[in-house]
Chains A and B, each alone.
Chain A
Amino acid sequence: MKKKDIVIAVSLAIMVIAISSALYAGGIIIITPPYKVRDLAKNFLRYSYNPWNGKLTSYALNVVSAIIWDYRGLDTVLETAVLYSAVIGITVLFRGIVEIRGLKHRGLSLLVKMPSRIVIPLIIAVGISLAVHGHLTPGGGFQAGAVATVTPALIITIFSIEALYVLKLRIQKLFLMRTIAFIGILMISISLFLYSLMSLTNAYVLQNMIREHSNISMPHWFIDVPLAGSVFLYNILEFFTVFAGLTYVFIVYSMRRKEVENMWEEVETYE
């Protein structure tokens, strides 16, 4: 028994060091990319940020973001649709749940509660910065959403689900937020196309910057920072979609017995 405790303690210590070193890029592990770049990588670098040729750029310093949301935008929009419909499946499975406030609850000890009160705002800040800086530094909408979802999950385990109700994070609200953000992604993808129909010019669906045969583009420069047009907007809306969707799943999964009881009656009347 004692040996096991030592193993757990050592592995927890290594885990904390490992997480911090992985998050703090250039910390313990200093690795720089090689100076010689292959031709394929050169092509991607040229097409992601190339202000000298407006027709072959997306003004995103992060190459991955440029590929994900600009050159293969349809892929990512459909990926978001898959996540959206997966959460709809969970909604159908759990129909008939009611949120009941004031049930008996108890969280973890004060020793866990106090540090998490300090850590939780930091996690939210990291999530939002990943979403806003998605086109400049590594990160993006999905990563930001996943980081931000850790917050409600921690609140549920540490303070109990009752604390989320106090914060007014109801499931109806999350469902609405998710739907609005997803519709926003779809609207932005066709916004330039609709604009071109009104102004009698040419434009493509999912277009971001100026391309051949079409002269309209999203805003690509914010004072002195490249904004990458629709990549920025997509990142923020994807953040809301992922955050609301995953939080919804967590709230539904951690419902108490009394809240889920109604579910079976609903299912029986349906059958």
Chain B
Amino acid sequence: MFLPAIILLIFAFLSIVVTYLAIVERDMLVAAIFMAFQGVCYAIIYYVLMAPDVTLAYIPISSGLTPILILIVLKKTERVER
């Protein structure tokens, strides 16, 4: 009964922590990984809220395509933010 609400709370809290880490991080490569993790947290929240279609679209885009796009950009510019 309370399981969905508990899962929702845990992952919502986790996503806030990971977002903070992604903003604070100076190494952009690590920040991209944290960003992907935040995307996974949101995907699970969507799944708990019974939107599997959104989950299926959100997982490849948030944890597959966006970090890879950032990796390509980092390779062409520089890795560490000053």
Contact = CB atoms under 8 A, between A and B. Distances in A.
Interface residues on B, range: 35 or more
A8 B30 CA distance: 8
A146 interface: yes
A18 B72 contact: no
Interface stretch (A86-94, A153-161, A169-177, A223-231): A153-161
Interface in A58-94: 62, 64
Nearest to A62: B53
Interface string B1-27: 001100100010010001001000000
A214 to B, nearest CB: 29
Contacts of A8: 30, 33
B70 to A, nearest CB: 11
Contacts of A11: 18, 21, 33-34, 37
A23 B52 contact: no
Given A31-B4, A143-B56, A150-B64, A253 B72 contact: yes
Interface string B42-60: 0110011010110111011
Judged by DSSP, the binding face of A is helix
B61 A18 contact: no
B72 A31 contact: no
A29 interface: yes
Contact of A15 (B7, B63, B69): B63
A239 to B, nearest CB: 13
A248 interface: no
Contact of B52 (A14, A138, A142, A150): A138
B71 interface: yes
B40 A15 contact: yes
Judged by DSSP, the binding face of B is helix
B47 A29 contact: yes
Interface residues on A, range: 35 or more
- Most chain-B Cβ atoms within 10 A of its Cβ — which of A31, A62, A64? A31
- Most chain-B Cβ atoms within 10 A of its Cβ — which of A4, A64, A153, A253? A153
Nearest to A130: B56
Interface string A6-33: 0110011011001101110100011101
A99 B21 CA distance: 39
B36 A15 contact: yes
Contacts of A147: 56, 60, 64
A7 B30 CA distance: 11
Contact of A156 (B4, B34, B36, B72): B72
B65 interface: yes
Contact of B44 (A29, A143, A246, A250): A29
Which 5 A/B pairs are nearest by Cβ-Cβ distance? A138-B52, A150-B64, A143-B56, A146-B60, A153-B68
Interface of B: 3-4, 7, 11, 14, 18, 21, 30, 33-34, 36-37, 40-41, 43-44, 47-48, 50, 52-53, 55-57, 59-61, 63-65, 68-69, 71-73
14 contacts: A4-B30, A8-B30, A11-B37, A18-B41, A19-B63, A21-B44, A22-B47, A64-B53, A130-B56, A143-B60, A146-B65, A147-B60, A149-B65, A253-B73
